[in-house]
Amino acid sequence: MRGKVAVIGVGMIRFGELFEQSLENMIQEAYLSCLNNIDKGLDPKEIKAAWFGQWSGGFIGQGAQSGQSLATYVGLLGIPVTRLENACPTGGDTFRHACLGVASGAYDIVLALGAEKMRDKPSAESLGGAGGGGGSETGNHPAWMMGQGGPAIQAMHATRQMYELGYTMEDFARVAVKNHHNGTFCPYAHYRFEVTIEQVLNSYTVCWPLHLLDCCPQTDGAAAAIVCRADLAKNFTDKPVYVLGSNIGTDHSQLWDRKSFVEQLSTVRAAKGAFEMAGIQPKDVDFAELHDCFTNTELMNIEDVGFARKGEAARMLKDGEFDMHGRLPVNPSGGLKAHGHPIAATGLGQVYEVVTQLREEADKRQVKLKNGIGVQHNVGGPAFGVSAFTILSRSP
Amino acid sequence: MTQPAPASPVFWRFNAEVFRLIGIRCRKCGHISYPRTKICHECGSLDLQEYQLSRTGTIHTFCINWAPPPNFEPPIIPVAVDLDGGGRYLGIMTEASTPEEVKVGAKVEMVLRKMITDRGLNVYGYKFRLVEDQQ
């Protein structure tokens, strides 16, 4: 894939509780923001195919969504559009499929858009209604942890991180403190307020050892990217961002089949494959958007993608290495924790952030660039067995 | 909600696994799992044999869930248990008067209990309780 695909535009709406906006409203706003982001302009008729990321529709009773939904809403009737659902990495995987569409030679310019309407339903019927992270056929059986969902699954990881790696609830809370701080600088973030370690530890216990402020919110949102053949990119923008690698990693769909609760092999495999595609090492990355659906998950991700050895992420976080102006900023957007987690929009929102940072257009949250390389990561689904990892760069 | 109704085929289909604890063991890689399958989830081998899961084991990890699924009274204590002889089982603790009693490494055993009452029907299955002799 390296050298074949470039991002020419990204778009996003402010994430949050958007009761006044329908799925169609959000999709149109993200799409138009994406078109406007292309500095030399693009005739929408040049978009020859699209991929539509959408998780919630059929799962939580909001009506089935398919390719024609996106084609209709953005006025591109007639082009091929595929609706894609791949759990929490839906957005990352939607972007990957758009890139594959271009890299294959089938299309020159394509659209990837993800949108999610989660707040119309109460939390328990929203993510939990689809079984959360435990929703495979067997995961729903009452004898085997029926519908435990993401919080319980990640809390079981957190307990083991505490036992095996010596991590503490304060270590987890520091992730929330960092990401909420970053979120205050991001105009698109769902939450834009600071939290302290004490506030996190004193918030309601959802699943011990995780508190309410250890969990990301459920969010409405939409985000998009337009990608094209790398050799055509400068016809549309002076600041193309190149795709060096984009990969999906899988692991078991049943939690009991997995070996470890302190490592997610889906993430390990996604990142390893993407780094191999790109021909670079984790040390070459300037900053990262990693899937912090829960605070403990961010620490696990930092280790699993290769930024720290297992058991060292908590100390490095405490030393400020992952702060916005630290050695390797993690989640300068505020992450899922503060920016929000509208599932299919999440990965594309991360692509938006990485592209914006690489173009040095991130204002107060701009990170320092050395190699001009940033990454996007998601992990989720039953047993957190699927992960997306994308590497973007200022140079081809 | 998407959880299966007590009269749904899922309960009939997984009867042997849930009540007699029949799983599979891969002759090639040794992976032990359930429900029974024809292709090893770990290595893809077709060379599998039925395996009797043990009713006792050691807590690998757990959490204390104050926001459980419908039909459960909070808190519930989900556990992942490393079964004696191999295999890992996910279940729920019972008879733990305080969550503080539950610890990684504690020895537990399965006991038959009512799991939920749903639409007027009781669903039974195994829960875990701490064994008195923790040696």
Residue A129 confidence (pLDDT): 55
**Is the per-residue pLDDT at B107 higher than 70?**
yes
A114 with A352: CB under 8 angstroms? no
Domains annotated for chain A, with CATH where assigned, are 5-123+216-393 (3.40.47.10)
Q: Is the Cβ of A61 closer than 8 Å to some Cβ of chain B? A: no
From start to end of chain A, where are the E strands? 5-12, 49-53, 81-84, 109-116, 205-208, 210-211, 221-229, 241-250, 287-289, 373-380, 386-393
- B34-74 pLDDT, tens per residue? 999 999 999 999 999 999 999 999 999 999 999 887 777 88
Q: Which residues contact A260 (CB under 8 A, 6 or more apart)?
A: none
Helix H segments across B2-135? 9-13, 15-19
Q: Largest alpha-carbon pair distance within chain A? A: 58
Q: Which residues of A touch B67 (CB under 8 A)?
A: 124, 151, 206-207
Over residues B15-27, the mean pLDDT reads: 94
Q: What length does chain A have?
A: 396
Q: Is the Cβ of B29 closer than 8 Å to some Cβ of chain A? A: no
Question: How many Å apart are CA A140 and CA A134, to the nearest integer?
Answer: 7
Minimal-distance CA residue of chain B relative to A125: B1
Q: Is the Cβ of B64 closer than 8 Å to some Cβ of chain A? A: yes
**Is the per-residue pLDDT at B98 higher than 70?**
yes
- A278-299 pLDDT, tens per residue? 999 999 999 999 999 999 999 9
Residue A128 confidence (pLDDT): 60
> For every one of its 396 residues, what pLDDT tens digit does chain A have, with 9 covering 90 and above?
898 999 999 999 999 999 999 999 999 999 999 999 999 999 999 999 999 999 987 666 677 889 999 999 999 999 999 999 999 999 999 999 999 999 999 999 999 999 999 998 877 666 665 555 555 667 667 777 665 788 999 999 999 999 999 999 999 999 999 999 999 999 999 999 999 999 999 999 999 999 999 999 999 999 999 999 999 999 999 999 999 999 999 999 889 999 999 999 999 999 999 999 999 999 999 999 999 999 999 999 999 999 999 999 999 999 999 999 999 999 999 999 999 999 999 999 999 999 999 999 999 999 999 999 999 999 998 889 999 999 999 999
End-to-end CA distance of chain B: 42
A336 with A349: CB under 8 angstroms? no
For A186, A188, A263, A300, the CA distances from A181, given in Å and listed in that order, are 10, 14, 27, 20
Q: Which of A143, A148, A204 sits opposite B125 (nearest CB)?
A: A143
Over residues B93-109, the mean pLDDT reads: 90
Domains annotated for chain B, with CATH where assigned, are 1-53 (no CATH), 55-135 (2.40.50)
Residue A137 confidence (pLDDT): 66
ipTM of the complex: 0.95
Q: How many beta-carbon pairs below 8 A join chains A and B?
A: 118
In the set A88, A186, A207, A293, the catalytic residue is A88
> Which three-class secondary structure state does DSSP give residue B121?
strand
Give the pLDDT band (50/70/90) at residue B1.
very low
| Positive or negative: CA dihedral A340, A51, A270, A286 | negative
Q: Which residues of A touch B78 (CB under 8 A)?
A: 145, 148, 152, 156
Q: What is the pTM of this model?
A: 0.96
Residue B11 confidence (pLDDT): 82
Q: Which two tokens stand for residue B8?
A: 């749904």
Is the pLDDT higher at A66 or at B121?
A66
Cα A316 to the chain's mean position, in Å? Answer: 22
> Which three-class secondary structure state does DSSP give residue A375?
strand
β-bridge partners, B129: B109
Residue A146 confidence (pLDDT): 66
Provide the shortest C-alpha distance from residue A142 to chain B (in Å).
Answer: 7
